[in-house]
Amino acid sequence: MSRILEELESAGIAFSMDYEDLIAYCKDFNPLHQLKLLKKLTPALPEVVVFPKSVDEVSKVLKIANSLGIPVYVFGGASGVIDSATPYEGGIALSTLGLDWIEIEEENRIATCGAGVVGGRLEKILNHRGFSLRHIPQSLYCSTVGGWVATASSGQFSTGYGNIEDLIVSLKVVLPNGEILEERKTPRRAGVDLKRLFVGSEGLFGVIAEVTMKFFELPKESVKLSFEYKSIESALEDAKKLLSLKPALMRIFDDEETLRYFDSEAFSTIVIFEGDGAREKGKIARSISKGREVEGYADIWLEKRFDVSDISKIGVLGFVFDTIEVSCF
Ligand SMILES: Cc1cc2nc3c(=O)[nH]c(=O)nc-3n(C[C@H](O)[C@H](O)[C@H](O)COP(=O)(O)OP(=O)(O)OC[C@H]3O[C@@H](n4cnc5c(N)ncnc54)[C@H](O)[C@@H]3O)c2cc1C
């Protein structure tokens, strides 16, 4: 450890061994960890937290760690839920939050950001200029762009705009030996698409240090529709038809969730069409849907979509809650 600290100091890289920092970087948002923390227990502790501010500094940290055989755990917003960054073997927790630069190229509709840029900040800056990422995970305000890539993130508007792998243009990555890998910023390129290797890599193949992402004009037209059904099967049947109209967002709610969100005893679907032609698509959707059109569910959901206060109250009572995502035909 003393060798590491000496090396970090001589490289001028900020680090901390304060207990508060070690605790802040001891876990992600995994529900079992939350329960442990309430009992004043920690799942594991790193020995030191480093805060690199540039790609070169990340490279130096990894070179030092590699030469001394010290494990490194990468942290963005720590909003991940699958316990993948817990420093079970001690060592270094590397925070990407100091990698916080944002360069916006309006003409090319791309933004190049340090991996530690928090999504909500980037989205707000883009909104001020009339644009949007359209990558809106529920954790927008507590997750980072590097974290999105590392976890193969999906957002509320991914039905229409794609998941993170469809939205990244290029990456700058620091490999475990400190080597810097940089892709050209082109829409497509010949050869193996290296960035795909890092989508969902959860920090295993290196530190994603910089991400170039697409963004879009804020939609001028938007049509929000809500339908109710008697069964989940009829909601699904309808969804298949509605998907052919390429909605920006579509969600089906079972009876429990319809009651919780919309105070109604039914199954339901909300659909949002965006951009040119949205009104026309809305008309077609109304004509092909077999559901009963209801007013305002989409607006209610949009209003509540970042609010996790209900479930936050359950944790302190000692309950564990979790969400899982299932893909199937
Ligand atoms: C309330 C809530 C709502 C959520 N909603 C969504 C949602 O709608 N969609 C969704 O996809 N997820 C969601 N999540 C999960 C989580 O927010 C995402 O997985 C997010 O992408 C994690 O980003 P982060 O910056 O917090 O990463 P972290 O939690 O810090 O890290 C996650 C993993 O990625 C690695 N990592 C992080 N940054 C880098 C980097 N720069 N280079 C290499 N590896 C790195 C870490 O080592 C770890 O393995 C939600 C979580 C919560 C708590």
Instruction: State if residue 138 touches ligand 1 by the CB under 6 angstroms criterion.
Output: yes
Kindly give the distance from the C-alpha atom of residue 77 to the centroid of ligand 1, in angstroms, as a whole number.
7
Kindly give the distance from the C-alpha atom of residue 151 to the centroid of ligand 1, in angstroms, as a whole number.
6
What are the structural domains of the chain? 2-95 (3.30.43.10), 102-217 (3.30.465.10), 222-305 (3.30.70.3450)
Report the relative pairing of strands 92-95 and 102-105 from DSSP bridges: unpaired
C-alpha to C-alpha distance for 176 and 68, rounded to whole angstroms: 12
Indicate the burial class of 42 (C-beta count within 10 angstroms; 0-12, 13-18, 19 or more): middle
Kindly give the distance from the C-alpha atom of residue 182 to the centroid of ligand 1, in angstroms, as a whole number.
22
C-alpha to C-alpha distance for 198 and 190, rounded to whole angstroms: 18
* pLDDT score, position 324: 81
Instruction: State if residue 165 touches ligand 1 by the CB under 6 angstroms criterion.
Output: no
User: Crossing angle of helices 2-11/55-68, nearest 10°?
Assistant: 160
Protein residue with its CA nearest to atom 23 in ligand 1: 147
Q: For residue 73, give the ligand 1 atom closest to its CA.
A: 47
* pLDDT score, position 116: 98
Q: How far from chain centre, in Å, is Cα 233?
A: 30
Kindly give the distance from the C-alpha atom of residue 140 to the centroid of ligand 1, in angstroms, as a whole number.
10
* DSSP state for residue 118 in the 8-state scheme: B
C-alpha to C-alpha distance for 41 and 44, rounded to whole angstroms: 9
Torsion of CA 19, 21, 24, 25, to 10 degrees: -110
Q: For residue 76, give the ligand 1 atom closest to its CA.
A: 30
C-alpha to C-alpha distance for 176 and 144, rounded to whole angstroms: 20
Kindly give the distance from the C-alpha atom of residue 310 to the centroid of ligand 1, in angstroms, as a whole number.
21
Q: For residue 118, give the ligand 1 atom closest to its CA.
A: 25
Instruction: State if residue 84 touches ligand 1 by the CB under 6 angstroms criterion.
Output: yes
C-alpha to C-alpha distance for 327 and 91, rounded to whole angstroms: 36
**Threshold 0.85, pTM exceeds:** yes
Kindly give the distance from the C-alpha atom of residue 44 to the centroid of ligand 1, in angstroms, as a whole number.
19
* pLDDT score, position 94: 98
pLDDT along the chain (329 residues), means of 10: 92 96 94 87 95 98 95 97 92 98 98 98 98 97 98 96 97 97 89 91 96 97 97 96 97 96 97 96 97 97 90 81 81
Kindly give the distance from the C-alpha atom of residue 138 to the centroid of ligand 1, in angstroms, as a whole number.
11
* pLDDT score, position 161: 97
Mutate to test the pocket of ligand 1, among 61, 143, 145, 304 (most ligand atoms within 8 A of CB): 143
* pLDDT score, position 261: 94
* pLDDT score, position 1: 84
- Which tens digits make up the pLDDT trace of 176-209? 999 999 999 988 888 888 899 999 999 999 999 9
Instruction: State if residue 153 touches ligand 1 by the CB under 6 angstroms criterion.
Output: yes
* pLDDT score, position 314: 82
Indicate the burial class of 187 (C-beta count within 10 angstroms; 0-12, 13-18, 19 or more): exposed
